[in-house]
Each structure stands twice: as C-alpha cells, then as structure tokens.
C-alpha cells in the first residue's frame, strides 16, 4: 500500500484544494453580486427573493432540518454497523451480541423512515403555503399593471407565469432545498466517517472530487441555458394556444385549420427540441458521475483487497474485511448523493429559470401609478375638463392634439367622428387608463393625477362595445360578486334598462348560468346586462363607448328610454356610431385626426352644415 501513498496523497490534496477553491469562488461571486457589480438577475438575487417568501415559515424549516439530521444518521452509521457485523460473523461471536447489533441497525432504520415521513408531510404543507403566497402576489401585481402594458403582454404568457412557472418554483420549497441540504450533509458526513475509518482509502476517494466538481460546473452552465430555452418555448406555445383557441371559430369559418396546424407544429417541435436538449445535458452528466463511482469501486477493490491480503498497515491502520465492506458501502453513499444532486440540479435549474420569469413580471412597474400625495374622493359632482391635452400611445404619434373641452356636472356629452379620430382614447384618459404627455385632465377642478386611481375609477361606470361576462351566473355578473345587493335591487336595475324582458323568460332567472364570455347570450342581451351592471353601482359619471353598436333595432328601442333616464343619473360621456342615439345630448363634440373641429348640440351643428352635418347626411342616406 505504501507505493501508492504518494499518488493518493497528491490526489487527495488536489481534491481538498478544489473544494476550498470552489467554495471561496462561490462566496466571492455572491459577494460581488450583492454589491451590484452584475446588473443581471443572478442566482444570489433570485435566492434572496425566494427566501423572502420562506422567511415567515422559518420555524417549520427548523423542525424539518432537525428531523433531517436525525434521518440521515442511517446513511452515515449503517455502513460502519454492517462492517462491524461482518467482522463479528467472521470470527467467534455470541448470538446476543449479534442480535444487539441488528437491533441497533433496525432502530436507526426505523427512526430514519419516520423522520423521512414527517419531513415529507411538513415540506408539502409549508411549500404549498409559500406557493399560494407567490401566486397571489403575481396575480395582484398583474391586476395593478397599466392598460398599455397589458396590451403588449400576451395572455398566454401571463397564464404560463401564473401557473406553469409557479408549479416549477413549488418544487424548490417542497423538494429541491431539502434534497440539496440532505445530499450535502450526507456527502460531508460520509466523508468524515470514511476519514475516521481509514485515511488512505479516503484519499483515494478524494482523487475523484476535482473531476466531479468540473463536470458539475459545466453541467450547471448548460442546464440553466437548456431550462431557459424550455421556458421560452413553453410560453410561446401557451401564447399561441390562448390566442388561437379563443379565435378558433374564425379559423373554421375561413378554412384556416391547415395553416394553424403548421404553425402549431412549428412551436410544438421547438418545445420538443428544447426538451431533448435539456434531457441530453442531464443524460450526459449522470452517467459520467456513475462512471466515476464505478472507477472508485474498482480502485477500492484493487488497493483495499491487496492491502487486506498483504495485511498492509500505514500509520497504525489495518485494512480488515469489515473496513472493506464499510468502505464499499460508504463509496456508494458518497456517490449516490452526487448522482441525486444531478437530478436536484435538474429541478433547481428549472425552478431558478421559472423564478426568473416570475420575478420579471413582478419587477414590471406600472406605467400609471398613484402619486405619493394622491387624495381620496368620497363623491364627485361629475365636472370634467380637458386642458390642452396631447396624447400618444407610442413616441410622438399623437392621437390627441391640443384637445380642450369642458363638461358640466350631470351633462351629457357625445363624441363623434371617423374611426381612429381619438374618441375612445378620450374616454380611456378620463379614467386614467393611460397618462397624458401634455396638458391637464380635471375632475371637479382637480387634476386626476392627484387622485388615487381606485378612488377615481369607482365613480365611473363604463359600458363598452365589447362586453365581457365572467363564467358564473347572471347575478354574479351584475353585482360582480358583491353581496350587498338583494335580488329586488338587482331586478330593479334590470328593469331600469329593460333587461328583465329576457331574464324573466329564463328557467333559472338571475341564477341562469353564464358560460365563458357569455357565449350563451346574444350580443344585445350581453349589452343589457352590462347596462344593469353599471346602473346598480350608481356611478357619478357614465361612459358609453359604442355601447349600442351591437344591439339590434328592437333591443335599441327597448333601451332608448333607459338611456334618457340614465342621463338624469349623472354626467354621461358617449361615443356612438348611430347618431340617432345622441341627438338628445347636451353637447356633441366632433373629432377629426385627434382635434376638435366642431362643438354644439344636435340642431346647432346641423345648422352649421359642417362636419357633423356631413356625417348625419351620410348616415341618413345609408339607413334610407
């Protein structure tokens, strides 16, 4: 054994130096990241932010850690017990002594199994609580994003972040962290146990450490890249599905199934290739570690067997059969955690990539935010004023150019003009869905930027052309799941807008099921429900954006008297294609290319024979 000692000593020292160097490098790298030398989101930042969610449950994790220490005692002690039993059986022994060793072994095994059970239950409970908190934060943050941001983010991408990516993160708190700690402690504990058992054979094992560390660093680099690619392809596919499943009727109408199938196949193949690359990276790493394990076993059998046969001793240590058996088991328990770490790294990279995606959403600051000194408004009169307002969605492509007008409380003002003139934009700006670039918008003489958005918007009721109904019942869609209104109050609002005409004919009445997007109701019925939803909330300012565009002639007649009654509730801003619906407005503002070209009531504008007159004449001829 002596002739191999210089080689073993050199390899062992190299292994120890490698461990020290990698540990120091990791600490320095993390320190630099904390000091802000690296502007991109690094692992240390992701871990710090994830730890924020785990912090309230530190007591749970402390209990789990204690149980973990107890459970890994089996991995560290059992090989030594097996070696002792082997030596006992080989020589003269008493059955009582053997039974005592077997009972000790069985007791440690039972304690380990019970500890693993408690650990698994506690981990799942704690992990799900953390996951719930992360999902809630993401959902609440998405709700806070501004309209322009939501217009640029595909729905499928947000669904992926909220569901798929958070599920990947859940593995971090329910499995990955504990496995990392467990496998690391097992490796350290087994290493110490081997060191105490036999220095020479332990040095032999250390010779393989530099190779393991090298392959782990390479694996970490490529696996992170592979998981990012998988996440991107998954998001791309979910976005495609979200859009195309919503528009599948159009696809069928225009016989576009073949083209959409090709587009789906392209994205699906891209995701399959990304998974294949991920599997390839993992499939290379684990066999390499297993190869190192087999090599260490072969060297152990050769050196240890030779030392046992020749009864070789060094520094007072003797290689016995029990030592060989124990070391054989220790090598297995030393390399098995490393192999398990490969799988853990697999999930870790997935969780880190998912966390990075989720934090990218959480890091998006809403473009429209409350000012620090923004005020609450308990009630508004409904006075609205635009002062030299300039607005563009992108750069300096101005949608509104120096727009100024004034709306008195309880006044009805209509905006007309060609498509793209800026009518709908005006209504969006009043609710502060977007921030203007120049000028001022005032409500009751107060700049809306000085009013809290939630306080401002609760005084507005919006009835849009594209009515969105949630899955549920008619009642839940009218009250928006608030419980403060009785059925009588709900039906009173429905009668006010003549929605009771079709609700009374439904088998379940207010409890009639509303399917996705209200597809089991006609466009007119959906619009009437949106009218009732607005009326019951008693807004101070009502906004109608082409709210009668999708209503048939019969339904329009039903709500004409409702519109007249609604005009008496508060201030009303209307964008209408049908000029017949705005003839009773107090003021009509004609918009053209983002500028006001005419202003007055119906008869004044007709007498001017200007832009409004031309629109009226054109529509009258079309209807005739």
Residue 564 pLDDT grade (very low, low, confident, very high; cuts 50, 70, 90): low
Out of 169-178, 403-412, 442-451, 486-495, least confident range: 169-178
Q: What is the dihedral of CA 122, 125, 128, 132, to 10 degrees?
A: -130
For the segment 480-526, what is each residue's pLDDT rounded down to a tens digit? 867 788 888 889 888 888 888 888 888 888 888 888 778 888 878 88
Q: Taking a C-beta distance cutoff of 8 angstroms, is the pair 598, 610 a contact?
A: yes
Out of 159-168, 321-330, 386-395, least confident range: 321-330
SS3 for 292-361 is HHHHHHHHHHHHHHHHHHCCCEECCEECCHHHHHHHHHHHHHHHHHHHHHHHHHHHHHHHHHHHHHHHHH
Provide the whole-model pTM. Answer: 0.69
- The average confidence (pLDDT) of the chain is 80
Task: Give the domain range for residue 210.
Answer: 43-362
Instruction: Look at residue 604 and tell me if it is in a domain.
Output: no
Instruction: Look at residue 354 and tell me if it is in a domain.
Output: yes
- Rounded-to-integer distance, Cα 71 and Cα 182, Å: 9
Who's near 214: CB < 8 A, 6+ residues apart? Answer: none
Residue 621 pLDDT grade (very low, low, confident, very high; cuts 50, 70, 90): low
What's the CATH number where 148 sits? Answer: 1.20.1560.10
Instruction: Look at residue 321 and tell me if it is in a domain.
Output: yes
Q: Taking a C-beta distance cutoff of 8 angstroms, is the pair 475, 484 a contact?
A: no
Instruction: Look at residue 333 and tell me if it is in a domain.
Output: yes
Out of 34-48, 222-236, 440-454, 597-611, least confident range: 34-48
Q: What is the dihedral of CA 137, 143, 148, 152, to 10 degrees?
A: 60
pLDDT at 27 over 50: no
For the segment 323-378, what is each residue's pLDDT rounded down to a tens digit? 777 877 888 788 778 777 766 776 777 788 788 888 888 888 888 888 888 999 88
- Rounded-to-integer distance, Cα 519 and Cα 56, Å: 44
Domain count, the chain: 1
pLDDT at 455 over 80: yes
Would you state the pLDDT for residue 17? 53
Task: Kindly tell me the sign of the dihedral angle through the C-alpha atoms of 319, 324, 325, 327.
Answer: positive
DSSP 162: I
Instruction: Look at residue 511 and tell me if it is in a domain.
Output: no
Instruction: Look at residue 540 and tell me if it is in a domain.
Output: no
Instruction: Look at residue 24 and tell me if it is in a domain.
Output: no
Who's near 421: CB < 8 A, 6+ residues apart? Answer: 591, 592, 593, 594
pLDDT at 23 over 60: no
pLDDT at 386 over 80: yes
pLDDT at 388 over 90: yes
**Which secondary-structure segment (H or E) carries 464?**
strand 460-464
Instruction: Look at residue 134 and tell me if it is in a domain.
Output: yes
pLDDT at 407 over 80: yes
Out of 156-170, 510-524, 550-564, 578-592, least confident range: 550-564
């Amino acid at each position: 054994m002596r002739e191999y000692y210089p080689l073993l000593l050199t390899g062992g020292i190299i292994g120890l130096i490698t461990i020290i160097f990698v540990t120091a490098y990791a600490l320095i790298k993390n320190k630099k990241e904390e000091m802000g030398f690296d502007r991109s989101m690094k692992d240390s930042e992701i871990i710090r932010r994830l730890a924020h969610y785990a912090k309230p449950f530190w007591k749970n994790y402390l209990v789990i850690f204690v149980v973990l220490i107890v459970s890994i005692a089996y991995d560290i002690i059992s090989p030594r017990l097996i070696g002792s039993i082997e030596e006992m059986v080989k020589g003269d022994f008493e059955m009582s002594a053997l039974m005592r060793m077997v009972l000790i072994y069985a007791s440690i095994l039972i304690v380990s199994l019970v500890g693993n059970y408690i650990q698994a239950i506690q981990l799942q409970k704690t992990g799900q609580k953390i996951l719930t908190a992360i999902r809630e934060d993401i959902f609440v943050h998405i709700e806070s994003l501004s309209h322009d941001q939501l217009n640029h983010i595909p729905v499928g991408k947000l669904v992926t972040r909220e569901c798929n990516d958070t599920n990947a993160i859940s593995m971090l708190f329910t499995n990955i962290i504990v496995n990392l700690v467990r496998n690391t402690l097992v490796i350290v504990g087994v290493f110490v146990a081997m060191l105490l058992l036999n220095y020479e054979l332990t040095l032999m094992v250390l010779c393989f450490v530099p190779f393991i560390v090298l392959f782990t660093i390479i694996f970490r680099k490529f696996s992170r890249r592979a998981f990012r690619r998988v996440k991107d392809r998954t998001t791309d596919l979910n976005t495609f599905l979200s859009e195309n499943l919503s528009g599948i009727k159009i696809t069928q109408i225009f016989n576009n199934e073949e083209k959409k199938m090709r587009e789906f196949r392209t994205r699906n193949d891209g995701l399959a290739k990304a998974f294949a690359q991920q599997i390839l990276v993992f499939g290379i790493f684990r066999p390499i570690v297993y190869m190192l394990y087999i090599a260490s076993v072969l060297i152990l059998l050769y050196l240890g067997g030779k030392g046992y046969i020749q009864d070789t001793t060094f520094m007072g240590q003797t290689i016995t059969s029990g030592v060989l058996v124990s070391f054989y088991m220790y090598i297995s328990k030393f390399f098995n955690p490393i192999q398990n770490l490969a799988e853990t790294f697999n999930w870790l990279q997935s969780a880190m990539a998912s966390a990075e995606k989720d934090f990218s959403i959480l890091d998006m600051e809403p473009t429209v935010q409350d000012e620090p000194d923004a005020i609450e408004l308990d009630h508004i009169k409904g006075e609205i004023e635009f002062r030299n307002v300039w607005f563009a969605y992108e750069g300096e492509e101005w949608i509104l150019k120096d727009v100024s007008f004034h709306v008195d409380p309880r006044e009805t003002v209509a905006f007309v003009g060609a498509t793209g003139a800026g009518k709908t934009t005006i209504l969006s700006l009043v609710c502060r869905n977007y921030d203007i670039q120049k000028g001022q918008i005032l409500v009751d003489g107060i700049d809306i930027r000085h009013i809290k958005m939630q306080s401002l918007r609760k005084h507005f009721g919006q009835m849009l052309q594209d009515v969105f109904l949630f899955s549920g019942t008619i009642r839940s869609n009218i009250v928006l799941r608030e419980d403060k209104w009785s059925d009588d109050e709900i039906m009173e609002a429905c009668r006010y807008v003549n929605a009771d005409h079709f609700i009374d004919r439904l088998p379940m009445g207010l409890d009639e099921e509303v399917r996705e997007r209200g597809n089991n109701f006609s466009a007119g019925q959906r619009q009437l429900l949106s009218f009732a939803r607005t009326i019951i909330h008693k807004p101070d300012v009502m906004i109608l954006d082409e709210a009668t565009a999708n209503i048939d002639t019969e339904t329009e007649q039903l709500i004409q008297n409702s519109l007249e009654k609604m005009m008496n509730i508060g201030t009303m801003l209307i964008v209408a294609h049908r000029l017949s619906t705005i003839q009773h407005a107090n003021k009509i503002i004609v918009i053209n290319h983002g500028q006001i070209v005419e202003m007055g009531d119906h008869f004044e504008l007709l007498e001017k024979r200007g832009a409004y007159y031309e629109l009226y004449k054109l529509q009258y001829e079309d209807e005739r």
